[in-house]
Structure 1
Amino acid sequence: MRSIAEGLENYLGSNLGITASIDEWVGSGSLPQILTGNYTILHSKISGIDCLFLVPGNDFDPTPGALEKHIDLLKRSWNGQVVFVPSAISSYKRKRLIQRSIPFIVPTKQMYLPALGLALHELFPGKSRCAEMLSPSAQLLVIAAVLGMKVNDFPLSDLAKKLGYQAMTMTRVSRELDCAGLARLETRGRDRRMTWLAGDAKSLWESALNRLSSPVGRRIWVSEAGIQGNLLLSGLSALSAYSMLASPGNTAVAVHRTELSRFLQEHSLQVIDQSETDSDSVEIEVWKYSPAVLATEGKVDRLSLFLSLRESADERVQEALSEMMRDLKW
C-alpha cells in the first residue's frame, strides 16, 4: 500500500502541481468481501474533492461492467468520488471506462478525472510542472541529507534501499527535486545519481524550507492500556526531550500511516474522540512518511519535529523550537 500511495502522490504532484496526502481508508472494514478481498482502498482530497482510490489486486482485472457494479456497491457507503487505479490499462478498456465516465489514474502514464475537468488530452509528457510543496518521500530525502545521511552522489537504487523505498519511487523523487531546483539528476554509466545544488546542509535546509510541510497527516487519540514496545515520541513529548519545555500532560507518539491499522490491531486499541480523553490517553500522530527512518533515541528527528510544530501559537513552544534548532549541529 505504501508504494501505491507514494506513486499516486508523486504523479498527482508532478502533473497537477498539488500536494495530496493519500492514506488507507478507515471505512474499509464495513465493506463487503468482494471489495475488500479484491481491492486496496485509499482516501485523499484532490482540489477539495473527497476521493477514494480503488486499487485492484495483482491478479484481479475487473471488466468495465464489473467495475461499475463494484463502484455502485462502494457508493452505498461513500458519497464522494471513486477513482479506479490499475497498474496498466489497454486502449480498449480505457475507451470503455471513458464511455462509462469512470474516473481512473494509471500512475506515471495517464489519468481521466472528469470531476476535476481533466481529460486525457490535457496531459503532455515532459511538460509537468513542479508542485509547490515537496511530496513526503522527497521531503524525507531532503531531511535525511540535512541530518547527515550520506545520500549525495549515490546511485538511486542504493538510496531507495537506505530509505526503504522502491527504485521507481526514488526516480520520481529525484526528478521532483531536480524540478524544484534543489538537486541535479545525472546518468553515469549504468547508474542514475542525484547531487544536491546547495553547498552544505544548512544551505540545503534554507533552500528547501518553503517547500517543506508538516509530516503529520492527522492526529487521533487512544487509551494508554495495551500500548507496549518501542514507541517514537513526537509532538510536545519529543520537544520536551529536546529542550527545557515541560513534559505535556499526554504522551504523543508517531506512527507511519501505512502502519496505523496494524498498530491499532496489534495493541487492541480503540480510537476515541478527543472530548473523551483523560490523563492516561495517548495522542497518535499519523505521519506521511516513516518517522522511524531518521528517529534517534526513541524520538522523531528534530527537523521533522520542527515542521510539525512551527505553526504553533504557543510562545513556549516557539521558544523550545528555537532552543532545539540552536543545538542542531549542521
Structure 2
Amino acid sequence: MNDNITDDTVLKSCYSSPLMNPELHRVEQYLPGLASYIETVLGDIPSFSAWEQTSSLPYYLNNTYCLLQMTLLGQTCLVLMENPQRSVSLPDVKKHMDTLRKLTQMPMLFVTATLASYERKRLIEKGIQFIVPGNQLFIPELGLDLREYFRARQETVEFISPATQAMLIHLLMNDWKHSLQLSQATLGQHFTYSKMTISRAVKELKGLGLIALGADRQQQIEIRTSARQLWQNARKHMRSPLKKSLWLNAVPLLDGNPLLLAGESALAQQTLLSEPRLPVYACSSETLSALLLQASDFLSEVAAEDAACELQIWTYDPCVYASVVPYVDPFSLILSLQDSKDERIQIGLSQLEGDLKW
C-alpha cells in the first residue's frame, strides 16, 4: 500500500480517549482493506488523519465508531468506521451523523463490514454515504457520479501506474521480435501484486492501445508489435520511478549485499559518462524499511555535502529484474534521468538506448 494511507500515529489518535473500548483496536486491520478497495474502484489513494474533535465527543460515539478524516479526490470527509464488535442500527447511524453535523460541515461516510441488500437500499434512500469494502460504494456528497467518473477516466488516461510500469518493463527485459501472447498470470508472476492490481494493469495497457485481449478476453493478452515498438509507443505514458532521494552517511547493505546502482552511477557503468562524486543506489520503500531495521544504529540521513552516497527511493522495486549486472534496468534508468538538463547525461542516455539489444 501507499505510504499516504495511514500510519500508527493516526490509529493511536483514534484510540486515545480513556473511555474508548479496547475492542476498537480491531478496526486497525480494516483500514488497509478500505484504502485498497477505494483505490481499486476510483483509482485514487485515500489519506487518513485523526479528527481533532474526537476526544470531546460523547462516550457512545467513541465506543461505536473510529472517527477519521479522509481525503479523497481532493475533498475531505469524516469517516465513521463501525466498531466490528458494536453493530449499529441504520436509524442510529442517521442520528449520530446529525449530531456530528453540529460540529463539522464535512461530508460524512459510514464504513461497515457488511450490509444486507435492504439496508443498502435504505441508506441510499436516506442519502447516507457508505462503503462496504470489497462490495459497494455510495458517495454522492463528494460530487462523484461513478459512471461519469469512469467514462472520463478512460478518456483522459495519460500515465500508467507504477505497478503497471514495472510489469511492462519486465516484459521489455524479455525481448521478442514481432508479437507476443501471454496470460494475465504471466504478466504478474514475478511480482507480489494482487489480482486486482494485475487486472487494473491490463485495463490501463488496453485503454492506451498497448495490448489487446485474446478471444477469451480474460486470460489471454496479445502484444501485436515488437518490443522496440512497444517501448516507443509506451514511453510517453511512463514516468520516472524516482520518488525521492536521501543522502546517507554510509553505503547501505541489505543482508550483507549492496543495492543496485542507479542514476549517474548506473549510466557511467554502461556509457562514457564519468562517475559521479558519490555513488547512487536505488531501492523501494519496503526495502528502505528493511534497511532501517537492520542498520538503524549506524545508518542515518545527512546533508549532501557530508554524505557517503545518494539513495533513490523508487515507486516500484528496482530489484525485481533478475540480472547479473549490479545496476538497475535500462528502461527505468532512462526514465529516471530523461528530464536532466545535463548535456553529458543526455548523450549517455542516447548511447544507452542505442545499445539496447532488441
Matched, 1:248 2:243: no
1:103-122 alignment runs, 5 A limit = 106=133, 110=137, 112=139, 114=141, 117-119=143-145, 122=148
Whole-Å separation in 2 of the counterparts to 1:87 and 1:142: 36
Matched, 1:284 2:311: yes
Residue aligning to 2:220: 193
1:224, CA displacement in angstroms? 0.9
Q: CA 1:225–1:288 in structure 2 vs 1: closer, same or farther (change >3 Å)?
A: closer
TM-score (ref. length: structure 2): 0.64
Q: 2:47 aligns with which of 22, 43, 52?
A: 52
Whole-Å separation in 2 of the counterparts to 1:94 and 1:251: 60
Whole-Å separation in 1 of the counterparts to 2:27 and 2:295: 23
Q: CA 1:127–1:327 in structure 2 vs 1: closer, same or farther (change >3 Å)?
A: closer
* Contact persistence 1:220–1:283 (CA under 8 A): yes
Whole-Å separation in 1 of the counterparts to 2:278 and 2:112: 43
Letter in 2 for 1:281: A
1:178, CA displacement in angstroms? 1.0
Residue aligning to 2:189: 161
* Contact persistence 2:130–2:137 (CA under 8 A): no
Q: 1:203 aligns with which of 229, 245, 248?
A: 229
Whole-Å separation in 2 of the counterparts to 1:226 and 1:40: 32
Whole-Å separation in 1 of the counterparts to 2:63 and 2:76: 17
Q: CA 1:242–1:53 in structure 2 vs 1: closer, same or farther (change >3 Å)?
A: farther
Whole-Å separation in 2 of the counterparts to 1:123 and 1:237: 43
Q: 2:301 aligns with which of 247, 266, 272?
A: 272
Q: Secondary structure at the match of 1:217?
A: strand
Matched, 1:320 2:336: no
Residue aligning to 1:179: 207
Q: 1:293 aligns with which of 320, 323, 336?
A: 320
**Stretch deviating more after TM superposition (260-269 or 90-99):** 90-99
1:153, CA displacement in angstroms? 1.4
5+ residue gaps, structure 2, are 16-24, 50-59, 82-108
* Contact persistence 2:283–2:313 (CA under 8 A): yes
* Contact persistence 2:252–2:291 (CA under 8 A): no
TM-score (ref. length: structure 1): 0.69
Higher relative contact order (CA 8 A, sep 6+): 1
Letter in 2 for 1:313: K
Q: Max radius of gyration: which structure? A: 2
* Contact persistence 1:221–1:272 (CA under 8 A): yes
Residue aligning to 1:140: 166
Q: CA 1:126–1:133 in structure 2 vs 1: closer, same or farther (change >3 Å)?
A: closer
- What's the Cα RMSD here? 4.4
Q: CA 1:163–1:38 in structure 2 vs 1: closer, same or farther (change >3 Å)?
A: closer
* Contact persistence 2:5–2:48 (CA under 8 A): no
Task: Output one character per residue of 1:219-255: Cα deviation in whole Å (capped at 9) or x when no partner.
Answer: 2233216644231111112111121212212222211
Residue aligning to 1:311: 339
Task: Output one character per residue of 1:127-181: Cα deviation in whole Å (capped at 9) or x when no partner.
Answer: 8445211111221232222222579312212332233433332222112111111
* Contact persistence 1:182–1:204 (CA under 8 A): yes
Whole-Å separation in 2 of the counterparts to 1:98 and 1:308: 50
Whole-Å separation in 2 of the counterparts to 1:223 and 1:286: 16
Whole-Å separation in 2 of the counterparts to 1:320 and 1:207: 22
Residue aligning to 2:263: 235
Q: CA 1:82–1:99 in structure 2 vs 1: closer, same or farther (change >3 Å)?
A: same
* Contact persistence 1:235–1:252 (CA under 8 A): yes
* Contact persistence 2:250–2:299 (CA under 8 A): no
Q: CA 1:130–1:244 in structure 2 vs 1: closer, same or farther (change >3 Å)?
A: same
Residue aligning to 2:67: 71
Task: Output one character per residue of 1:197-238: Cα deviation in whole Å (capped at 9) or x when no partner.
Answer: 32x111111111111111112222332166442311111121
1:315, CA displacement in angstroms? 1.0
Percent identity between matched residues is: 25
Q: CA 1:114–1:292 in structure 2 vs 1: closer, same or farther (change >3 Å)?
A: farther
* Contact persistence 1:112–1:120 (CA under 8 A): no
Task: Output one character per residue of 1:280-322: Cα deviation in whole Å (capped at 9) or x when no partner.
Answer: 4332222112211226312110010100110011111111111
Whole-Å separation in 2 of the counterparts to 1:165 and 1:281: 33
1:262, CA displacement in angstroms? 2.5
Q: CA 1:144–1:226 in structure 2 vs 1: closer, same or farther (change >3 Å)?
A: closer
